[in-house]
Amino acid sequence: MLSAPYVTGSPNWIELGTPDVEGAKAFYGQVFDWTFVSAGPDAGGYGMFQLDGRTVAAAMTVPPEKGPPGWNVYFQTPDADAMVKAVEQRGGSVVVRPMDVFDQGRMTICLDPAGAAFAGWEPGRNKGLDRVSDVGALGWLELFTPDLAFALTYYGDVFGWEASQMPMPDGSGYYTMVRPGGAAQDTTFAGVLQMSADRLEASGGPYWLAYFGVEDCDASVARAQELGAEIKRTPVDVEGVGRFAKLADPAGARFAVVQGFTAAGATGGTRPPSGR
């Protein structure tokens, strides 16, 4: 699962882009008990979601004409400019060129060749999220892509990721996971799943999905639905993992919740959830 301190290639930041930040504050505040802290008068409304005073995510206003609502994950890079070169050389594209964010760090937003959005963060004063792999915090990611093998090669070239596989709990095949290059097997932070073109089109194209830990999956889903969320997948148990569900917030940003994280930052077992 995710862990900190972060290393090259690991997820170290996650950010909600939404047309309604005020609505997001209310929604996620009630679902995850998050509070919103402004980044200051010069940050254009940007701010951090915190839990017990520790940053677990961030949010910013993205007008509808600038793109759909969504959670964007940042991966650590020692050199944002070099990362962008690798992205473009391997067939990806750059949405936001590398830029300094005050003295906090340097960021860039990109698309992989299939069209899934992701971002890079070159740390400055801001090294990353304060809390991960715990209740109320980011704990897992999944990439839904039309070509699993190509995605593994692409992100491996850009970030140095290594991949491994494990049998699916139901015996239906294998689940592919990635971890930072040179890191131990237990540092996997994401699964990569191949989906048909029809299913991806129905979902709006290839995408990254973020999983946040909860104490009670069913209660969290019920509360989210009361607040206007759409249930994309009802709660389901996965052997060796826990219980998870997929949702979209009232503005349409997709995310997932998973019950099973411990205070130590692991799930109730070694297996991550599967977004199938």
SS3 readout for 73-93: EEEECCCHHHHHHHHHHCCCE
What DSSP letter does each residue of 6-63 carry, written as one string?
--TTSEEEEEEEES-HHHHHHHHHHHH--EEEE--TTTTT-EEEEETTEEEEEEEE--
Residue 239 has pLDDT above 90, yes or no: no
State the average pLDDT for the chain: 92
Q: Where in the chain is the domain with CATH 3.10.180.10?
A: 11-123, 138-259
Residue 238 has pLDDT above 90, yes or no: no
Strands of 105-111's sheet in order across: 35-38, 47-51, 54-61, 11-18, 70-76, 117-123, 105-111, 93-101
How far from 114 is each of 146, 148, 245, CA to CA, in Å? 7, 11, 25
Look-up of token digits 């899934």: 116
Query: What pLDDT is stored for residue 185 in this prediction?
Result: 84
In tens, the pLDDT along 93-119 reads 999 999 999 999 999 999 999 999 999
What DSSP letter does each residue of 189-217 carry, written as one string?
-EEEEE--HHHHHHTTSSEEEEEEEES-H
The length of the chain in residues reads 276
DSSP annotation of 64:
G
How far from 62 is each of 168, 197, 198, CA to CA, in Å? 37, 27, 27
How far from 212 is each of 28, 131, 220, 256, CA to CA, in Å? 11, 11, 11, 6
Secondary structure (3-state) at 268: coil
The pTM is what?
A: 0.93
Domain 138-259 has CATH 3.10.180.10: yes
Q: Is 34 exposed, middle or buried (0-12, 13-18, 19+ CB in 10 A)?
A: buried
Q: How far is the C-alpha of 221 from the C-alpha of 224, rounded, in Å?
A: 5
In tens, the pLDDT along 32-78 reads 999 999 999 989 999 999 999 999 999 999 999 998 999 999 999 99
The domain made up of 11-123 has a fold known as: 2,3-Dihydroxybiphenyl 1,2-Dioxygenase; domain 1 (3.10.180)
Are 6 and 12 in contact by the 8 Å Cβ rule? The answer is: yes
* CA gyration radius, the chain: 17
Q: How far is the C-alpha of 106 from the C-alpha of 108, rounded, in Å?
A: 7
Task: Return the amino acid letter for 193.
Answer: L
Residue 271 confidence class, pLDDT cut points 50, 70, 90 = very low
Strands (E), 129-198: 138-145, 162-167, 174-179, 190-194
